[in-house]
Chain A
Amino acid sequence: MNNESPFSAEYNIAGATEPQPTVQETISLDEINTTNDIITKIESDYNLSKPRRKILRARIIKR
């Protein structure tokens, strides 16, 4: 059996292994957090497209 990599040498990454279940799990959690961030951003943008009120107060300074 020929153990030679089907890829040319420049594509071989030293120490590369098959994906491990724990690694996969960590990535999934990261993805969930990213998704939640995106959802939060979309929801805040969604509300930004509504009219909003702004009240300004300033003290008059006499010269």
Chain B
Amino acid sequence: MKNIITQRKARLSQGDIYKDVEFIEYAIEKSGVVEISKIIFPFVVVLTQDCDLNQDYTIRWARRATSNHDQKLISVIVAPLYNIEHVYKGEHLSELKMTMAEITKNKTPGKTLRQNKTPRYHYLEFPNSVPIVSSIIDFKHYFTVNVEYLKKHKKNNFICQVGPLYREDISQRFASYLSRIGLPDTNAG
């Protein structure tokens, strides 16, 4: 996939890839001590619809006067990118003490993964000008990030944007994965 935009826009955009994005797992207070646990994802891709991001930006940052806040977002949907070599070995979350299923690189599972025929995953490869190895988006691991945090974070952590059609393909596959219907296992006793 060579359709990559490296020019940074002012606003958050669908298909943007940022590095070192934090996800707050929890924040608790007990006996006067606050504990915050966060996961730092090396790379994430923005999945929120671009028109929603554009409208939010116009109201929030361009300070256009509106009669209500109807088009303001609460958060932005993102999904993590994992190094495909880690994914093959099922060790991409080893730093979080999680063991994932292995995917055989040179057999059918690895090939269908790279052909984007596995609904849960989306394969991306980048030109040499982009400092990211071939990666897998895991739609199951999507999360949301505060809009203002991400806008500030973007300034120093923008990597690139997936180009037109390819970014819509990612979001469409994400929506399809999320709207799947889990049918009961009729063979189960």
Contact = CB atoms under 8 A, between A and B. Distances in A.
B127 interface: no
Contacts of A60: 29, 32-34
A53 B95 contact: yes
Given A49-B83, A50-B42, A60-B29, A55 B35 contact: yes
Contacts of A56: 35-38
Interface in A30-63: 46-60
Given A50-B42, A50-B95, A51-B40, A57 B34 contact: yes
Contacts of B92: 50-51
Interface in B86-138: 86, 91-96, 133
B96 A52 contact: yes
Contact of A50 (B25, B36, B38, B93): B93
B35 A51 contact: no
A55 B82 CA distance: 22
Contacts of A51: 39-42, 80, 92-93, 95-96
Contact of A53 (B82, B91, B96): B96
Contacts of A53: 25, 37-40, 95-96
B4 to A, nearest CB: 19
A44 to B, nearest CB: 12
B70 to A, nearest CB: 35
A55 B24 CA distance: 10
Contacts of B86: 49-50
Contact of A57 (B33, B82, B83, B91): B33
Given A53-B25, A53-B38, 14 more contacts: A48-B42, A49-B83, A50-B86, A50-B92, A51-B92, A51-B95, A52-B39, A53-B37, A54-B37, A54-B39, A58-B33, A59-B33, A60-B29, A60-B32
Interface of B: 25, 29, 32-42, 80, 82-83, 86, 91-96, 133
Interface of A: 46-60
